[in-house]
Amino acid sequence: MDLGLKDKVVLVTAGSQGIGLATAQGYHGEGARVAICARGADKLAAAAATMPGCLALQADVTDAAQIEAMTREVAAQLGPVDVLVVNAGGPPPGLFEDLDDAAWLNATNLTLMSAVRMTRAVLPAMRARRWGRIVIISSVGVKQPVPNLTLSNSIRMAVLGWAKTLAQQVAGDNVLINTVCPGFTRTARIEQILGPAGDGPNPAEAAMAAQIPLGRIAEAKEIAGLAVFLGSEVASYMTGTAIAVDGGSARGYA
Ligand code: NAD
């Protein structure tokens, strides 16, 4: 199937590893002109080297000025962004009593305000050209809260409410906004949640896999498949959705 992504300008934030990198590679494989950003120069360069022609820019998505400069640079070098994939690292785990105001505000800045600011930077040009896709990488925690992920479970619901509201406001300009909700996926984030694997198989991962109907955690490219589809021409009648890619782990209707 032709996804209609050839030569589309796609910006994937936090694209140097994990789900962000797999998503950027997925778009690149479809012939899109891909830009990625992340904080660390070394990982960014290594990621870009896997995608010839990829524009890699250093930017911290918690910093409003850096988002503005980065998105301006993408537009200057590649043209206006057609597809924005909103991605960032996840907020740290923690029980409610472990979290002070600084932890809540930092997580809000990382997860909610980064999405708001990045969208603000690219939305006017999408609306003017009457074509745009915004794909948000969220978590299955918006379908069923993940124990101990207090910040993630809470703030991602705010992102979901914002995305659903905005989707209605901009649908008339053919800008479509959808959310991907990954379950546990083999990336650095999983080590943050489970603890480091050590030498052998991680017993915590085996316990987690046993709770998942498909019996295993996801690979990043399995999440990327939906993130690429939702940014494509083919997904032209979908907006305001939030779709789980979780091996069946959310027990409600996902
Ligand atoms: P990861 O740790 O492998 O990658 C995170 C990326 O974010 C890295 O490239 C890192 O450099 C970048 N990053 C972090 N903070 C940043 C910042 N302030 N500015 C710019 N870049 C920043 O994680 P991942 O598993 O690929 O996670 C991607 C998203 O998916 C996260 O929001 C995560 O919480 C969510 N998620 C992951 C899982 C999972 O099991 N891996 C499950 C559900 C949701």
> Structural domain boundaries of the chain?
9-183+218-245
CA dihedral sign of residues 8, 225, 141, 61:
negative
**What does 25-72 look like in DSSP terms, one character per residue?**
HHHHHTT-EEEEEES-HHHHHHHHHTSTT-EEEE--TT-HHHHHHHHH
Q: What are the residues facing 86 on neighbouring strands?
A: 136
Q: Which residue has the tokens 């896709």?
A: 133
Q: Nearest-CA neighbor of 37 among 19, 11, 63?
A: 11
Hey, which of 189, 202, 246 would you mutate to test ligand 1's pocket, going by the most ligand atoms within 8 Å of its Cβ? 189
Average pLDDT over residues 15-29: 98
- DSSP class of 124: H
Give the pLDDT band of residue 171 (cuts 50, 70, 90). Answer: very high
CA distance 131 to 177: 11
- Would you say the CB of residue 85 lies under 6 angstroms from ligand 1? no
Span 24-47, average pLDDT? 98
Which of the four pLDDT bands, split at 50, 70 and 90, describes residue 192? confident
The sheet carrying 55-58 orders its strands as 55-58, 33-38, 9-13, 83-86, 132-137, 175-182, 242-245
Six-digit token pair at 243?
């779709």
Is pLDDT at 203 greater than 90 in this prediction? no
pLDDT tens digits for range 137-154: 999 999 999 999 999 999
The reply to whether ligand 1 has any atom less than 6 angstroms from the CB of 114 is no
198 pLDDT more than 90:
no
* Residue 89 beta carbon below 6 angstroms from any ligand 1 atom: yes
Run of H or E residues at 11: strand 9-13
Assigned fold of 9-183+218-245: Rossmann fold (3.40.50)
**Percent with pLDDT over 70 in the chain:** 99
Query: Ligand 1 pocket, 137 CB below 6 A?
Result: yes
Nearest-CA residue for ligand 1 atom 19 is 60
CA nearest ligand 1 atom 33, residue: 90
- For 167-241, strand residue ranges (E) read 175-182
Atom 13 of ligand 1, nearest CA residue: 89
Task: Kindly report, residue by residue over 10-20, the tens digit of the pLDDT.
Answer: 999 999 999 99
* pLDDT score of 197: 64
* Closest atom of ligand 1 to CA, residue 184: 40
Q: Which atom of ligand 1 is nearest to the CA of 60?
A: 19
What is the pLDDT, as a whole number, of residue 195?
77
**Structure token pair of residue 34:** 């891909």
Instruction: Verify whether ligand 1 is closer than 6 Å to residue 247 (CB atom).
Output: no
Residue 117 has pLDDT above 70, yes or no: yes
How far apart CA 198 and CA 80 sit, in angstroms, is: 44
Instruction: Examine the pLDDT at 200 and tell me if it is beyond 90.
Output: no
Q: 89: CA distance to ligand 1 center in Å?
A: 3
Among 61, 152, 185, the mutation site with the greatest number of ligand 1 atoms within 8 A of its Cβ is 185
